[in-house]
């Protein structure tokens, strides 16, 4: 079994590159179908979404744009419960179809904050695409429209997700070893 050590924790392989690629292709196909004839704006949530956003965009065959916001709600391995917008939007969203691109949706606090912001900005529609969803932890009523993978409420790293800033560069997904 493949393992990695990041700082003081050991993680075991959870999802390999092939599983990740297949799941991203599936949601890209759904987005391509749902947005045919439209020009959506993909809004990536940094830092974690960068690998997912890049791979997703390679498979989207629509006329589209991508922009990024940076928010934070984690310190170490736990959510702080507060979402802080660190970098804002740099363009008008009035009348736009926006797809939020997230690395992981767990409690939903970040999504709730971003959706509220986008509603105030006058978006035509707002959808959410996430690499990972933790259904056990998600406690919001906002629908998550495109989910690459559902996972249990466990701590994972790799493929953009980190442990105190480390591990984002791993091509596969790893879960904290018991």
pLDDT of 86 strictly over 80: no
pLDDT digits (tens, 9 = 90+) for 117-145: 889 889 999 999 999 999 999 999 999 99
- For residue 174, the model assigns a pLDDT of 98
CATH-assigned architecture of domain 3-28+42-70+88-176:
3-Layer(aba) Sandwich (3.40)
| For the chain, percent of residues with pLDDT exceeding 90 | 78
Determine the pLDDT at residue 87. 64
- From the list 8, 55, 90, 106, the catalytic residue is 106
Domain residue extents for the chain: 3-28+42-70+88-176
Mean pLDDT throughout 67-71? 85
Axis crossing angle, helix 50-59 with helix 17-34, rounded to the nearest 10: 60
pLDDT in tens, 138-174: 999 999 999 999 999 999 999 999 999 999 999 999 9
Contact (CB, 8 A) for 142 and 128: yes
Q: pTM for the complete prediction?
A: 0.90
Active site residue 106: yes
Sign of the CA dihedral running 145, 108, 159, 61: positive
């Amino acid at each position: 079994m493949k393992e990695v050590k990041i700082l003081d924790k050991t993680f075991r392989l959870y999802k390999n590159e092939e599983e990740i690629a297949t799941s991203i292709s599936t949601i890209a196909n759904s987005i391509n179908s749902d947005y045919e004839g439209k020009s959506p704006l993909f809004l990536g949530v940094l830092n974690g979404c960068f690998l997912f956003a890049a791979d997703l965009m390679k498979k989207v065959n629509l006329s589209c744009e991508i922009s990024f916001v940076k928010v934070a709600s984690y310190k170490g391995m736990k959510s702080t419960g507060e979402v802080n917008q660190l970098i804002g939007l740099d363009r008008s969203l009035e009348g736009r179809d926006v797809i939020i691109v997230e690395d992981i949706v767990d409690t939903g606090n970040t999504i709730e904050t971003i959706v509220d912001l986008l509603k105030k900005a006058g978006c035509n529609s707002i959808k959410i695409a996430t690499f990972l969803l933790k259904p056990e932890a998600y406690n919001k009523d906002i629908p998550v429209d495109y989910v690459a993978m559902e996972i249990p409420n466990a701590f994972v790293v790799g493929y953009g997700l980190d442990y105190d800033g480390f591990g984002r560069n791993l091509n596969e997904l790893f879960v904290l070893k018991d």
